[in-house]
Amino acid sequence: MTVLEDRIEMADANTERLDEWFERLERMPVPEGFRVEIVGGTVHMTPQRDTHWEIIRRVVRAIEDRFGMDVKVFSDVRIDFPGRENGFCPDVAKLSDSAQKDSEGRWRHEDVEFVAEVISEGTAANDYGPKKAAYAIAEVPVYVIVDPYQGRCRVYTHPKGDDYAIDTKVDFGSDVDLTDTLLGLTLQTGDFPRD
């Protein structure tokens, strides 16, 4: 077997395991208002808070204002990312206009152009750690972490290996300038709520 064949076989095995886990989770009595995702083979359930949703809504609205209502932008939709058992449900994911679902009916990480994660107290380490690494490996061009506890955004661009070459901090109240990225927009944070 070649290295490529080994990687394809490993990816298929990861996807099969993730499918099985998500099928089991769908049959469990997960309380309404909770988000479930699998990061590095560990299941995480986090409650959806109003602050969290308000920020997500504002980010999605900015993307829709820029690209129109037919833009492929999602919230809490499963996308499998590189690495061991990474079935993420990003808070916001924008896909390329040409993105199409794979043969299993899922969106492909290769088509993701932008991800925004809003920090939840219990899972912040995932957003700054394994998820950031997986997004970089997947070559997601722009990754934004919104932290309502610190009142700050972290903007990661130019993926390189398992990290990003550029890390910019922007305090709430200042604009996040994404005009030189695929998004070509400015994200206003003045009305982002804080926790």
**DSSP per residue over 51-120, as a string?**
HHHHHHHHHHHHHHHHH-TTS-EESS--EEETTTTEEE--SEEEE-TT----TTS-EEGGGEEEEEEE--
Query: Distances in Å between the alpha carbon of 26 and those of 35, 39, 64, 101?
Result: 11, 17, 30, 21
- pLDDT of 38 > 80? The answer is no
Q: Which two three-digit tokens encode residue 180?
A: 């030189």
More confident residue, 160 or 34: 160
143 contacts 156 by C-beta, under 8 angstroms = yes
Q: What is the mean pLDDT of the chain?
A: 84
For the segment 130-155, the average pLDDT, to the nearest whole number, is 96
Query: Which SS3 state, helix, strand or coil, does residue 147 take?
Result: strand
Q: Taking 90 as the threshold, does the pLDDT of residue 180 lie above it?
A: yes
- Both structure tokens of 86: 């990474």
Measure the CA–CA gap between 194 and 173, rounded to whole angstroms.
11
**The pLDDT value given to residue 14:** 61
Q: Are 87 and 22 in contact (CB under 8 A)?
A: yes
Task: Determine the pLDDT at residue 86.
Answer: 74
Q: Using 50, 70 and 90 to split pLDDT, how confident is the model at 83?
A: confident
Q: Is residue 5's pLDDT more than 50?
A: no
Which residue did the predictor score with more confidence, 32 or 62? Answer: 62
Higher pLDDT, 49 or 36: 49
Which residue shows structure tokens 């996308």?
A: 79
- The model's pTM: 0.78
